[in-house]
């Protein structure tokens, strides 16, 4: 599949195969772009941004709604392609398509709600007799650098609000899973002028770095690792950045919790997309009083999970993105076992598959929970009190999302207030998200917010216009 730059399909002498992690077959190949190609995309986006700026909000909204309908019509094809390149079960891919459609709708609606405000300058010294108001204007060109785990939805979370507020966009999709994103860009290009949407495939060390450092790119929206996020923040200069850098999300289960509901939260939160979710349940912090019953019920439900061909609708656990990723998870779990943790269920790897794994007696110094483990693992940490649970929950460099299960409203509110995370859910796991909510974390989980309304705020600049009426 070729890149899309300035409305034209562009290839390269260098190609990279995109393989199916389930069986290793080659799905397609994409060009490996170099700096001159990234520069061409920047030029085309800067040339095209004026065409978009001249469009009415009414027209932009209608065009985004047209793309919504096209994505609906092609929902099954997109979901199949997504499963082939990522390895997630087809039912999960269909959910990602539904969320992507919803996110596009929200952007189409939000494009008509980009308001300024009147500013009472007479509240300040010498402001009497002035009338002032603000406008929110597009930044110009937004570059979106996206990951493999939810390639379509996370890309739409970046480029749909960017276009809604009249920015041109450059998309650098993930090398492991670029095809769904590139196919979606074609739908957008059918509605908008050439150059408004551009795709550049290649390696982050070259293409991504060029986008980040270019003075002709006005914003970077990135989802990925902390290491890369820190490099972006250091190199971006004066441009705006939004960085979503993952999480080490805790799920606190207190002794008065509904255990069955909490177990369901782990099943939905730790094993979704084979655990490759930034807001997935990564640490299960359970009070000792209920830990044995909780673990038994969790094992019982975990063993109902069906691992198999991701295109089979009965499959509930697919592959990781690659065998290399599965080996890394395997090694992390084995290291925890060597240090005293105990596997209650799972723990075996087969190629890019890794079984849904419940591991007990995990301590806070094990690498399994010190760092973000990107795999289908449910590590149980024992605590004696709500005080200790909050302390353990906060004992991490991340702060994306969290969940607490309890029927005590006092402890619920205390955990919600004291756990250091961008979002804390009560009686719901950390993986819950609606596409209109503000999404973004504290500490090393990043800076800025996604969620269409909040992303639009990050992708506009404010101008004040003042009239002297004296």
CB atoms within 10 A of CB 460: 22
- Length, in residues, of the chain: 470
Active site (annotated) includes residue 165? no
Catalytic-labelled residue, pool 244, 287, 450, 458: 244
Catalytic-labelled residue, pool 191, 278, 355, 450: 278
- Retrieve residue 15's tokens: 């190609």
Cα 405 to Cα 469: distance, rounded to the nearest angstrom:
58
Helix, strand, coil in percent for the chain, rounding step 5? 40, 25, 35
Q: Is 241 helix (H, G, I), strand (E, B) or coil?
A: strand
Burial class of 189 by CB neighbour count within 10 A (0 to 12, 13 to 18, 19+)? buried
Cα 314 to Cα 334: distance, rounded to the nearest angstrom:
29
**Residues with Cβ within 8 Å of residue 156, at least 6 apart in sequence:** 100, 103, 104, 107, 184
- Retrieve residue 348's tokens: 């075996």
- The CA R_g of the chain, rounded to the nearest whole Å, is 23
**Residues with Cβ within 8 Å of residue 424, at least 6 apart in sequence:** 401, 402, 403, 404, 415, 416
Active site (annotated) includes residue 244? yes
Angle at 221 between CA 435 and CA 238, to 5 degrees: 140
- Retrieve residue 32's tokens: 């490996």
Q: Mind giving me the DSSP string for 364-409?
A: TTSHHHHS---SSEEEEEEESSHHHHHHHHT-SSEESEEEEE-S-H
User: Which residues are registered as beta bridge partners of 442?
Assistant: 399
Residues carrying an active site annotation: 244, 278
């Amino acid at each position: 599949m070729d890149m899309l730059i300035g409305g034209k399909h562009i290839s390269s002498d260098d190609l990279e195969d995109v393989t199916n992690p389930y069986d290793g077959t080659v799905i397609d190949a994409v060009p490996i772009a170099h700096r001159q190609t990234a520069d061409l995309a920047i030029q085309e986006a800067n040339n095209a941004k004026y065409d978009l700026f001249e469009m009415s909000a009414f027209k932009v909204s209608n065009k985004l709604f047209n793309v919504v309908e096209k994505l609906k019509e092609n929902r099954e094809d997109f979901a199949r392609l997504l499963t082939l390149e990522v390895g997630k079960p087809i039912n999960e891919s269909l959910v990602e398509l539904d969320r992507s459609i919803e996110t596009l709708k929200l952007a189409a609606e939000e494009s008509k709600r980009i308001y300024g405000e009147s500013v009472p300058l007479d509240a300040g010294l010498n402001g009497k007799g002035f009338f002032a108001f603000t406008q929110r204007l597009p930044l110009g060109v937004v570059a979106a650098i996206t990951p493999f785990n939810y390639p379509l939805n996370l890309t739409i979370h970046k480029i749909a609000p960017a276009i809604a507020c009249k920015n041109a966009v450059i998309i650098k999709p993930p090398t492991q899973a670029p095809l769904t994103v590139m196919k979606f860009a074609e739908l957008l290009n059918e509605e908008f002028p050439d150059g408004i949407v551009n795709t550049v495939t290649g390696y982050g060390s070259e293409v991504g770095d060029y986008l980040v450092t270019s003075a002709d790119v006005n914003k970077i929206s990135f989802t990925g690792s902390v290491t890369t996020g820190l490099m972006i923040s250091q190199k971006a200069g004066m441009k705006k950045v939004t960085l979503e850098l993952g999480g080490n999300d805790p799920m606190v289960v207190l002794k008065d919790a509904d255990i069955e509901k909490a177990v369901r939260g782990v099943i939905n939160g730790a094993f979704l997309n084979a655990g490759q979710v930034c807001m997935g349940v990564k640490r299960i912090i359970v009070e000792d009083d209920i830990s044995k019953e909780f673990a038994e019920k969790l094992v019982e439900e975990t063993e109902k999970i069906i691992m198999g061909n991701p295109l089979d609708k009965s499959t509930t656990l697919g592959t990781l993105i690659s065998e290399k990723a599965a080996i890394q998870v395997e090694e992390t779990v084995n290291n925890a076992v060597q240090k005293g943790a105990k596997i209650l269920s799972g723990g075996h790897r087969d190629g890019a598959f890794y079984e849904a794994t419940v591991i007990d007696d995990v301590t806070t110094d094990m690498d399994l929970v010190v760092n973000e483990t990107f795999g289908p693992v449910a590590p149980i940490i024992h605590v004696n009190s709500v005080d200790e649970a909050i302390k353990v929950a906060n004992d991490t460099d991340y702060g994306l999302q969290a969940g607490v299960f309890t029927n005590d409203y006092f402890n619920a509110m205390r955990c919600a207030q004291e756990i250091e995370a961008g979002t804390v859910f009560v009686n719901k796991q950390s993986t819950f998200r609606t596409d209109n909510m503000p999404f973004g974390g504290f500490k090393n989980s990043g800076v800025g917010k996604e969620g269409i309304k909040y992303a639009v705020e990050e992708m506009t600049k404010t101008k004040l216009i003042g009239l002297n009426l004296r």
